[in-house]
Amino acid sequence: MIVAHTVAEVRNVRWEDPLLSWGLVPTMGFLHEGHISLVNQAREGNERVAVSIFVNPTQFAVDEDLSTYPRSLKRDLALLEEAGCDLVFVPADGEMYPDGFQTAVSVTDITQQLEGASRPTHFGGVTTVVTKLFNIVQPTRAYFGQKDAQQTIVLKQMVRDLNLNLELIVCPTKRDADGVAMSSRNAYLTAEQRQQAPVLYKALSAGKAAIQAGEQSAEAVRQRMRGLIEGQPLAKIDYVSVANGRSLEELELIEGEVLLSTAVFFGNTRLIDNVLVSL
Ligand code: AMP
Protein backbone atom coordinates (compact mmCIF):
# COMPACT_ATOMS: atom_id res chain seq x y z
CA MET A 1 0.00 0.00 0.00
CA ILE A 2 1.41 3.36 -1.03
CA VAL A 3 0.85 6.37 1.21
CA ALA A 4 0.97 9.56 -0.87
CA HIS A 5 1.08 13.07 0.55
CA THR A 6 1.21 15.03 -2.68
CA VAL A 7 -0.89 15.30 -5.83
CA ALA A 8 2.18 14.45 -7.91
CA GLU A 9 2.72 11.15 -6.05
CA VAL A 10 -0.92 10.16 -6.57
CA ARG A 11 -0.71 10.93 -10.28
CA ASN A 12 2.44 8.81 -10.63
CA VAL A 13 0.76 5.78 -9.07
CA ARG A 14 -2.57 6.32 -10.82
CA TRP A 15 -1.07 6.44 -14.30
CA GLU A 16 1.48 3.62 -14.00
CA ASP A 17 -1.03 1.45 -15.81
CA PRO A 18 -3.74 3.66 -17.33
CA LEU A 19 -5.97 0.73 -18.25
CA LEU A 20 -6.66 -0.35 -14.66
CA SER A 21 -9.99 0.57 -13.06
CA TRP A 22 -9.75 2.56 -9.82
CA GLY A 23 -12.29 2.94 -7.02
CA LEU A 24 -11.97 6.01 -4.77
CA VAL A 25 -13.30 6.29 -1.21
CA PRO A 26 -13.04 9.86 0.14
CA THR A 27 -12.94 10.03 3.97
CA MET A 28 -12.00 12.31 6.84
CA GLY A 29 -10.23 9.45 8.63
CA PHE A 30 -10.78 7.99 12.13
CA LEU A 31 -12.03 5.01 10.20
CA HIS A 32 -14.71 2.58 11.33
CA GLU A 33 -16.53 -0.37 9.77
CA GLY A 34 -18.73 1.98 7.73
CA HIS A 35 -15.68 3.33 5.91
CA ILE A 36 -14.23 -0.16 5.52
CA SER A 37 -17.48 -1.39 3.96
CA LEU A 38 -17.01 1.28 1.27
CA VAL A 39 -13.42 0.12 0.74
CA ASN A 40 -14.62 -3.48 0.42
CA GLN A 41 -17.20 -2.51 -2.15
CA ALA A 42 -14.58 -0.50 -4.06
CA ARG A 43 -12.23 -3.49 -4.02
CA GLU A 44 -14.92 -5.78 -5.39
CA GLY A 45 -15.74 -3.42 -8.25
CA ASN A 46 -12.27 -2.26 -9.33
CA GLU A 47 -8.75 -3.46 -9.94
CA ARG A 48 -7.26 -0.82 -7.64
CA VAL A 49 -8.58 1.08 -4.61
CA ALA A 50 -7.60 4.55 -3.42
CA VAL A 51 -8.74 6.09 -0.13
CA SER A 52 -8.27 9.74 0.76
CA ILE A 53 -7.96 10.90 4.36
CA PHE A 54 -8.42 14.64 4.61
CA VAL A 55 -10.26 16.60 7.28
CA ASN A 56 -11.40 19.28 4.88
CA PRO A 57 -11.39 22.65 6.65
CA THR A 58 -13.70 24.33 4.14
CA GLN A 59 -16.68 22.10 4.99
CA PHE A 60 -16.60 23.09 8.67
CA ALA A 61 -18.13 26.37 9.86
CA VAL A 62 -16.05 28.45 12.29
CA ASP A 63 -18.10 27.29 15.29
CA GLU A 64 -17.88 23.58 14.33
CA ASP A 65 -15.52 20.80 15.42
CA LEU A 66 -12.62 21.11 12.94
CA SER A 67 -9.96 21.47 15.65
CA THR A 68 -11.27 18.59 17.75
CA TYR A 69 -12.24 16.24 14.90
CA PRO A 70 -10.82 12.82 15.93
CA ARG A 71 -7.71 11.66 14.09
CA SER A 72 -5.78 8.38 14.19
CA LEU A 73 -3.66 8.11 11.06
CA LYS A 74 -1.53 5.17 12.21
CA ARG A 75 -4.57 3.07 13.04
CA ASP A 76 -6.34 4.16 9.84
CA LEU A 77 -3.38 3.07 7.71
CA ALA A 78 -3.27 -0.32 9.44
CA LEU A 79 -7.01 -0.83 8.80
CA LEU A 80 -6.65 0.17 5.15
CA GLU A 81 -3.66 -2.12 4.61
CA GLU A 82 -5.68 -4.98 6.09
CA ALA A 83 -8.65 -4.10 3.85
CA GLY A 84 -6.48 -4.38 0.74
CA CYS A 85 -6.29 -0.71 -0.19
CA ASP A 86 -3.64 0.13 -2.81
CA LEU A 87 -3.16 3.86 -2.37
CA VAL A 88 -3.90 6.25 0.48
CA PHE A 89 -3.83 9.98 -0.19
CA VAL A 90 -3.18 12.01 2.95
CA PRO A 91 -2.63 15.61 1.83
CA ALA A 92 -1.71 18.51 4.11
CA ASP A 93 -4.11 21.47 4.04
CA GLY A 94 -1.59 23.43 1.95
CA GLU A 95 -1.44 20.70 -0.70
CA MET A 96 -5.20 20.98 -1.25
CA TYR A 97 -5.51 24.73 -0.70
CA PRO A 98 -2.20 26.38 -1.64
CA ASP A 99 -1.77 30.12 -1.13
CA GLY A 100 -3.93 32.02 -3.57
CA PHE A 101 -6.59 29.31 -3.90
CA GLN A 102 -9.80 31.01 -5.05
CA THR A 103 -12.10 28.59 -6.87
CA ALA A 104 -15.29 26.90 -5.63
CA VAL A 105 -17.79 24.40 -7.02
CA SER A 106 -21.36 24.87 -5.84
CA VAL A 107 -24.61 23.01 -6.36
CA THR A 108 -27.39 25.53 -5.90
CA ASP A 109 -30.81 24.07 -5.06
CA ILE A 110 -30.59 20.73 -3.27
CA THR A 111 -27.96 22.14 -0.92
CA GLN A 112 -30.45 24.50 0.73
CA GLN A 113 -32.52 22.07 2.82
CA LEU A 114 -31.73 19.75 5.76
CA GLU A 115 -27.96 19.69 6.35
CA GLY A 116 -27.56 22.73 4.10
CA ALA A 117 -30.10 24.73 6.13
CA SER A 118 -28.33 23.90 9.41
CA ARG A 119 -24.82 24.16 7.93
CA PRO A 120 -25.01 26.79 5.14
CA THR A 121 -21.31 26.64 4.16
CA HIS A 122 -20.95 22.85 4.40
CA PHE A 123 -21.82 21.62 0.91
CA GLY A 124 -19.74 24.28 -0.84
CA GLY A 125 -16.73 22.81 0.95
CA VAL A 126 -17.77 19.25 0.12
CA THR A 127 -18.41 19.79 -3.60
CA THR A 128 -15.16 21.71 -4.04
CA VAL A 129 -12.96 19.18 -2.23
CA VAL A 130 -14.64 16.18 -3.87
CA THR A 131 -14.16 17.75 -7.32
CA LYS A 132 -10.48 18.17 -6.49
CA LEU A 133 -10.17 14.57 -5.28
CA PHE A 134 -11.91 13.32 -8.43
CA ASN A 135 -9.50 15.34 -10.58
CA ILE A 136 -6.45 14.22 -8.63
CA VAL A 137 -7.25 10.48 -8.53
CA GLN A 138 -9.43 10.27 -11.67
CA PRO A 139 -11.27 7.21 -10.38
CA THR A 140 -13.45 4.95 -12.49
CA ARG A 141 -15.92 4.78 -9.60
CA ALA A 142 -16.33 6.72 -6.34
CA TYR A 143 -18.00 5.33 -3.21
CA PHE A 144 -20.10 7.28 -0.68
CA GLY A 145 -22.29 6.23 2.26
CA GLN A 146 -26.08 6.48 2.43
CA LYS A 147 -25.41 7.72 6.00
CA ASP A 148 -24.88 11.14 4.40
CA ALA A 149 -27.97 10.96 2.20
CA GLN A 150 -28.07 14.59 1.07
CA GLN A 151 -24.35 14.48 0.25
CA THR A 152 -24.97 11.58 -2.16
CA ILE A 153 -27.79 13.49 -3.87
CA VAL A 154 -25.72 16.68 -4.13
CA LEU A 155 -22.69 14.83 -5.52
CA LYS A 156 -24.78 12.88 -8.03
CA GLN A 157 -26.18 16.19 -9.25
CA MET A 158 -22.65 17.60 -9.52
CA VAL A 159 -21.39 14.56 -11.47
CA ARG A 160 -24.32 14.91 -13.85
CA ASP A 161 -24.12 18.68 -14.26
CA LEU A 162 -20.35 18.81 -14.79
CA ASN A 163 -20.18 15.63 -16.93
CA LEU A 164 -17.64 14.13 -14.55
CA ASN A 165 -16.34 10.92 -16.02
CA LEU A 166 -17.00 8.45 -13.21
CA GLU A 167 -19.72 6.36 -11.64
CA LEU A 168 -20.91 7.37 -8.18
CA ILE A 169 -21.91 4.43 -6.00
CA VAL A 170 -23.93 4.73 -2.78
CA CYS A 171 -23.31 2.09 -0.08
CA PRO A 172 -25.68 1.15 2.78
CA THR A 173 -25.31 2.60 6.29
CA LYS A 174 -23.36 0.40 8.72
CA ARG A 175 -24.81 0.34 12.21
CA ASP A 176 -23.76 -0.83 15.66
CA ALA A 177 -25.81 -3.70 17.11
CA ASP A 178 -28.19 -1.25 18.82
CA GLY A 179 -28.92 0.55 15.54
CA VAL A 180 -26.67 3.59 16.00
CA ALA A 181 -25.16 4.57 12.64
CA MET A 182 -21.38 4.30 12.84
CA SER A 183 -19.74 7.70 12.78
CA SER A 184 -16.36 9.13 13.70
CA ARG A 185 -18.28 11.66 15.79
CA ASN A 186 -19.75 8.91 18.02
CA ALA A 187 -16.37 9.02 19.77
CA TYR A 188 -17.42 12.37 21.29
CA LEU A 189 -20.44 10.88 23.12
CA THR A 190 -20.42 10.35 26.88
CA ALA A 191 -21.60 6.93 28.11
CA GLU A 192 -24.99 8.42 28.99
CA GLN A 193 -25.39 10.14 25.61
CA ARG A 194 -24.34 6.94 23.81
CA GLN A 195 -27.09 5.08 25.70
CA GLN A 196 -29.69 7.47 24.31
CA ALA A 197 -28.25 7.68 20.77
CA PRO A 198 -30.19 4.65 19.42
CA VAL A 199 -33.28 6.88 19.49
CA LEU A 200 -32.42 8.33 16.05
CA TYR A 201 -32.72 4.99 14.29
CA LYS A 202 -35.65 3.96 16.51
CA ALA A 203 -37.53 7.09 15.47
CA LEU A 204 -36.67 6.63 11.79
CA SER A 205 -37.72 2.98 11.94
CA ALA A 206 -41.00 3.92 13.63
CA GLY A 207 -41.60 6.50 10.90
CA LYS A 208 -40.90 3.93 8.23
CA ALA A 209 -43.20 1.39 9.91
CA ALA A 210 -46.00 3.97 10.10
CA ILE A 211 -45.66 4.70 6.38
CA GLN A 212 -45.61 1.01 5.53
CA ALA A 213 -48.74 0.56 7.66
CA GLY A 214 -50.51 3.13 5.48
CA GLU A 215 -49.95 6.50 7.20
CA GLN A 216 -50.42 9.16 4.53
CA SER A 217 -49.76 12.34 6.48
CA ALA A 218 -46.10 13.39 6.48
CA GLU A 219 -46.75 15.64 9.46
CA ALA A 220 -48.11 12.70 11.48
CA VAL A 221 -44.88 10.80 10.69
CA ARG A 222 -42.76 13.80 11.72
CA GLN A 223 -44.71 14.11 14.98
CA ARG A 224 -44.27 10.43 15.74
CA MET A 225 -40.50 10.66 15.20
CA ARG A 226 -40.23 13.91 17.18
CA GLY A 227 -42.15 12.41 20.10
CA LEU A 228 -39.77 9.47 20.33
CA ILE A 229 -36.62 11.61 20.15
CA GLU A 230 -37.98 14.11 22.68
CA GLY A 231 -38.48 11.17 25.04
CA GLN A 232 -34.70 11.06 25.52
CA PRO A 233 -33.73 13.87 27.92
CA LEU A 234 -30.24 14.45 26.47
CA ALA A 235 -31.43 14.62 22.84
CA LYS A 236 -32.01 18.07 21.28
CA ILE A 237 -33.60 17.98 17.84
CA ASP A 238 -32.03 20.05 15.07
CA TYR A 239 -34.46 18.79 12.42
CA VAL A 240 -36.82 15.92 11.69
CA SER A 241 -37.71 15.65 8.04
CA VAL A 242 -40.06 13.69 5.82
CA ALA A 243 -39.04 14.69 2.32
CA ASN A 244 -39.17 13.66 -1.30
CA GLY A 245 -36.19 11.32 -1.74
CA ARG A 246 -35.00 13.11 -4.89
CA SER A 247 -35.87 16.80 -4.58
CA LEU A 248 -35.62 16.87 -0.75
CA GLU A 249 -38.79 19.00 -0.64
CA GLU A 250 -40.74 18.48 2.58
CA LEU A 251 -43.86 16.40 1.90
CA GLU A 252 -47.44 16.89 3.01
CA LEU A 253 -48.72 13.68 1.54
CA ILE A 254 -46.62 10.51 1.66
CA GLU A 255 -45.88 9.34 -1.89
CA GLY A 256 -43.09 7.91 -4.04
CA GLU A 257 -39.59 7.60 -2.59
CA VAL A 258 -39.53 9.19 0.86
CA LEU A 259 -36.39 10.20 2.78
CA LEU A 260 -36.86 10.20 6.54
CA SER A 261 -33.96 12.04 8.13
CA THR A 262 -32.97 13.65 11.37
CA ALA A 263 -30.16 15.59 13.03
CA VAL A 264 -29.97 15.52 16.81
CA PHE A 265 -27.59 17.18 19.25
CA PHE A 266 -26.28 15.35 22.29
CA GLY A 267 -24.43 18.17 24.03
CA ASN A 268 -22.19 19.65 21.31
CA THR A 269 -22.18 16.43 19.29
CA ARG A 270 -24.46 16.50 16.28
CA LEU A 271 -25.58 13.09 14.98
CA ILE A 272 -27.41 12.49 11.71
CA ASP A 273 -29.20 9.46 10.32
CA ASN A 274 -31.78 8.61 7.67
CA VAL A 275 -33.80 5.84 6.06
CA LEU A 276 -35.33 5.67 2.60
CA VAL A 277 -38.85 4.31 2.15
CA SER A 278 -40.16 3.40 -1.28
CA LEU A 279 -43.88 2.85 -1.65
P1 AMP B 1 -16.53 10.75 6.69
O2 AMP B 1 -15.17 10.26 7.04
O3 AMP B 1 -17.45 10.84 7.84
O4 AMP B 1 -16.49 11.99 5.82
O5 AMP B 1 -17.18 9.62 5.76
C6 AMP B 1 -16.55 9.18 4.60
C7 AMP B 1 -17.52 8.34 3.81
O8 AMP B 1 -17.94 7.23 4.60
C9 AMP B 1 -18.79 9.12 3.42
O10 AMP B 1 -19.17 8.75 2.11
C11 AMP B 1 -19.78 8.64 4.44
O12 AMP B 1 -21.12 8.71 3.99
C13 AMP B 1 -19.36 7.20 4.63
N14 AMP B 1 -19.83 6.70 5.92
C15 AMP B 1 -19.72 7.30 7.12
N16 AMP B 1 -20.33 6.57 8.08
C17 AMP B 1 -20.86 5.48 7.45
C18 AMP B 1 -21.63 4.36 7.88
N19 AMP B 1 -21.99 4.21 9.17
N20 AMP B 1 -22.00 3.46 6.96
C21 AMP B 1 -21.66 3.60 5.65
N22 AMP B 1 -20.94 4.64 5.18
C23 AMP B 1 -20.54 5.58 6.06
| Mean pLDDT score, 85-107 | 98
Q: Which atom of ligand 1 lies closest to the CA of 29?
A: 2
pLDDT at 228 over 90: yes
Nearest CA to ligand 1 atom 6: 27
| Mean pLDDT score, 236-249 | 97
Q: Which atom of ligand 1 lies closest to the CA of 148?
A: 12
Residue-wise pLDDT for 21-72, tens only, equals 999 999 999 999 999 999 999 999 999 999 999 999 999 999 999 999 999 9
Q: Please tell me if the CB atom of residue 183 comes closer than 6 angstroms to any atom of ligand 1.
A: yes
Report the percentage of the chain scoring pLDDT > 70.
Answer: 100
Residue-wise pLDDT for 98-145, tens only, equals 999 999 999 999 999 999 999 999 999 999 999 999 999 999 999 999
pLDDT of residue 279: 85
Separation of 183 CA from ligand 1 center, angstroms?
7
pLDDT of residue 184: 96
pLDDT at 235 over 90: yes
Q: Please tell me if the CB atom of residue 125 comes closer than 6 angstroms to any atom of ligand 1.
A: no
Q: For 93-102, which contacts have Cβ atoms below 8 Å and span 24 or more sequence positions?
A: 93/57, 95/5, 95/6, 95/7, 96/54, 96/56, 96/129, 96/132, 97/57, 97/58
